[in-house]
Chain A
Amino acid sequence: MKRLCVVLALLSSGAVASDKRSGVEYVSPETRALQADDFANPGMLWVGGGEALWNEAVGQTKKSCASCHQDAKQTMKGVAARYPVFDEVRKRPIDLQGRINQCRVRRQKAAAFAFESEALLSLSAYIAHQSRGMPVTPPRDERLWSYIENGKELYFRRIGQIDINCASCHDARAGQRLSGNLIPEAHPTGYPIYRLEWQSAGSLQRRMRGCMTGVRAEPYAYGSPEMINLELYLMNRAAGLPIETPAVRP
C-alpha cells in the first residue's frame, strides 16, 4: 500500500493528462510544418540511415539487427513508447540507446556505439519512429519505482550557479519566454530530435545536458544512472502523449 501511494503521488505531481502539451505546441508554425512533412524534416535522414544500419551484418557474429528482429516496422512498434524498462541483466533500468548498444555488444559481438554518434542516433531514431503516434505507456513494473522516484528528486533538485530546478521552468513557467525561447513542458516524446540550433539530430540526454549547462551546472554524464532516472521520470510524467520521433525543435 505504501508503495502504491508513492507511485500515485509521483504520477499525480505532473500535469493532468489532458493538460499535457507536447513541445511541438510551443514551437513556431514553420518549425511545426517542418516536423509534419516527412520529406522536409531533416530528422528523417537519421531515420533513413537507421534503416540501412538495421540491415547491415556486423560484428563477430556477422548478424544484422534484422537477422534476429526481422522487420522493425512490426517488431519495434511500441518499443520506444515504453522505454526505459528494467533490465534483467544489469538489474537496473536501461533506456533505448542502452538496449541498442547491449544488443550490439552481446548479440552482434561488435563495439558499442559512442553516445551522440551518428549510428546510435540513427538506430534510435529508426526504432523510435516505429512508435510514432503511439501513446507513451510506461511499464507498470514495481522494480522501477525507486528509480522513477530518484528521477523526480533530481528534477526538483536545485543545481548550478543559478540554483534552480527543472520544475521552476518546465512545470511553473511553461509557455513563458526565457530570453527569446518559449519554455516547453519538457516532454521527451520526440527523441532523438532534430534541433535547428544544433544543425543536427541529438538525444534526450544531450538536450537535458543543455539545460543543465544553461543553469551553469555540471551536467550528468551520458549514460549515467542520473540521466536514465531523469528519462524514466520524464517518460512517466508524459504518459499518454504520442511519440513524435523525429521531432523538430528550435
Chain B
Amino acid sequence: MSLAKPMVAERLERPVSSRGHSMQIRGLSAYYGAKKAVDGITMDIPANHITALIGPSGCGKSTVIRCLNRMHEVVRGARAEGEVLLDGENIYGPGIDPVQVRRLIGMVFQKPNPFPMMSVYDNVIAGLKLNGRLDKREADAIVERSLRQAALWDEVKDKLQASGAALSGGQQQRLCIARTLAVEPEVILMDEPASALDPISTLKIEDLMQELRERYTIVVVTHNMQQAARVSDFTAFMLAGDDRVGRLVEVGPTDEMFTRPTEKRTEDYITGRFG
C-alpha cells in the first residue's frame, strides 16, 4: 500500500465501513528551529481505539500529535525526524505528499476554528469543496451524514445557512469535528478538543468520541486526567526533563496506567503530586 497519489485516491474510495487503521511512531523527534522539543518517541496507536496523550503543560503533547499528520512542519522552521507509520507506511517517506497525509489523518484543534466567512453547510464540506468539485445532492448527503455523526444535526438542521461563527462554542467544536469527518479520514487527531468548552459540551464531545471509535482510530491530547481515564483505551504519559525536551515515560492500557503504573513519575503525576 502506498501513500503516493494514485494509491491515496484508491484508499479514499474505499467504503467508510472499512476499519482498522493503526499507526506506529518510531524514534520521533521534533524541533522548532534549533530547539529540540520532543525526543525519541516510540509507541503504537492501535486501530479503532482511543489513545490519550497526557502530561504537564509544555511537555510536547501538541508537538507530537501535530507530527502525526505532518502539521508540525507548517510552523516556520519546524521539522521532525524519525518515522510515523500509517498501516505500515512511513508518512515521512520520500515522495509522500503531506497534503494527502492530512486527508487520511484529520485533526481537531483546541480552540474551535470554524471558517467565519462560511455557513454551517459550507464549513462541513469545506475540505471536499476546497479540493475539487462536488455536486449539490452529493454535498447535501455528506453534510447531513457528517453532522449526524458529529451529533450536531438536530441542533443545526434548520440553520445550515447561518454563519458557522454564530454557533455556541460546543457546537462550533462539533462542527469542526463534522468538517473533519466529511473528508472521511482514517485517523482523527484531537488536541485538547474540550478544554475550551463548558462541562456539558465536554461530555457531549466525550460521548461523541466513544461513538467515533467504532469507525475511526483516535488520538486525543488532554491534560485532564479524569477525561483520559473516562474516554481512552490506551494512555501515553509524557514528561519534559530538566533540558525541557519532552519524552515518553510510559504507555499502556488506560486502566493499568491509572491503577498500577510501572513508573514512579507516572504515579506521581496521576496522583497529582506534580504537574
The judgment on whether A and B are partners is no
Residues of A within 8 A of B (CB): none
Q: Name B residues whose Cβ lies closer than 8 Å to a Cβ of A.
A: none
